[in-house]
A and B are shown apart, each in its own frame.
Chain A
Amino acid sequence: MTLQVRLVLQALAEDPGRERYGLEIVDWTGLMPGTIYPILARLEQAGWLSSEWETVDESAAGRPRRRYYRLTPDGLTAAAAAATTAPRAATRLRPSLGRILPGEAWS
């Protein structure tokens, strides 16, 4: 399991009862959007994630609807296992990524 996958799992496992959408995961992990889409797709194919469209009136909200992700029981187990195997490496990546990414990708 790569460090990026661990980060995404950690982002979603932080509060398992809460669904997260793409930008939240980007902000939490410090990864770029182009990186998280393949990871989310892979995790969803593996049955570790489930996702659904937000139910919102787009014109009232003034933005397009979001796609929300949530860990499945299998994903929660995997995230817990990942957190115990390499928690230090994952936490070290975040500030360093924030420094090298332009456009305030981390902020």
Chain B
Amino acid sequence: MRLLRGLLALAALILPPAHRPRWREEALALLAEVRGVRRWWFALDTVVKVPVLARQFREPVPPPGRWLSVLTGLGLLGASGAIALAVLAPAGLPEDAAEFLFLMAPCAMVGVVAVRSFWTARSYGGGPLAYLIALLISVFAGTGPVAAGALSVATGFHAIAVAGAFLPGLWLITVSGAALLRRTSPPALALMGVLCGIGLLGVLLGLQLWPASPLNGLSVILLVPAWTVWSVWTAARLIRARPQQRLV
């Protein structure tokens, strides 16, 4: 039972703090009354489905403020514009500035990722763990290979850079896929977000794992138009800042 207690305590961290003790005690009482394989099967099921319960406890949180939405939209639009400038008119920029823009290009999403992550953490009841997860998502999914690459160099683990290359694309696919299923944004925009995420995933993973692969070229061909449409459309919605349009 000690192992089960520990497992439930760990799983309960997903729940809002106010609901953890009751769920832990109730689930443990149920598991204590069954034996053998059935107990472990029930324990696995209980733990795996905690996110469903956590979703049930989500509280309605007002959308981010108007000015935050406008700033996020301007940030996305500005970063995308700077990347386009660096790509289309490299001669018009000093070499250092162009290099800086290319380095910072993956950080274009950091604002939208941060706003979305912290809003979600708040709707799950907040607390240090939820905000820490939101911060980590903001840093690693928002800045992509910049943060993961720096950490990889600092620690000497190449795997961190590879894992970091997954996150921005995966985040965009997940968020846009959810928007597509729940119809919380126009289907064409959500679909563009999914395509953009696939392109990001292909480009960033390709750069880390298979630099000479022809798939990289295909990913770029997918990413450039998808990113252009998605970022401009999303930024326009954020700048417009209608209450239902203040999140990606």
A, B: real partners: yes
Known A-B contacts A42-B56, A63-B29, A64-B32; A37 and B42 likewise in contact (beta carbons under 8 Å): no
Chain B contact residues: helix, strand, loop or mixed: helix
A1-30 CB contact bits vs B (8 Å, 1 = yes)? 000000000000000000001110010000
Q: Smallest Cβ distance from A105 to chain B, in angstroms?
A: 7
The chain B residue with its CB closest to the CB of A67 is B26
The chain B residue with its CB closest to the CB of A32 is B45
Q: Smallest Cβ distance from B60 to chain A, in angstroms?
A: 12
Contact of A41 with B25 in the complex, beta carbons under 8 Å: no
Asked if B57 is an interface residue, CB under 8 A from chain A, the answer is: yes
Known A-B contacts A64-B29, A67-B29, A103-B37; A41 and B56 likewise in contact (beta carbons under 8 Å): yes
Contact of B50 with A34 in the complex, beta carbons under 8 Å: yes
The chain B residue with its CB closest to the CB of A45 is B56
Contact residues, B149-203 vs A (CB, 8 A): none
Contact of B42 with A38 in the complex, beta carbons under 8 Å: no
Best-buried of A42, A64, A102 by chain B (most CB within 10 Å): A64
Contact of A65 with B38 in the complex, beta carbons under 8 Å: no
Asked if A47 is an interface residue, CB under 8 A from chain B, the answer is: no
A19 to B154, CA, bound (A): 58
A104: which of B30, B33, B38 is its contact (CB, 8 Å)? B38
Known A-B contacts A34-B49, A34-B50, A41-B57; A63 and B41 likewise in contact (beta carbons under 8 Å): no
The chain B residue with its CB closest to the CB of A102 is B41
Contact of B49 with A64 in the complex, beta carbons under 8 Å: no
Going nearest first, the 8 A-B pairs with the smallest beta carbon separation are A34-B49, A103-B41, A64-B29, A34-B45, A103-B38, A32-B45, A22-B30, A103-B37
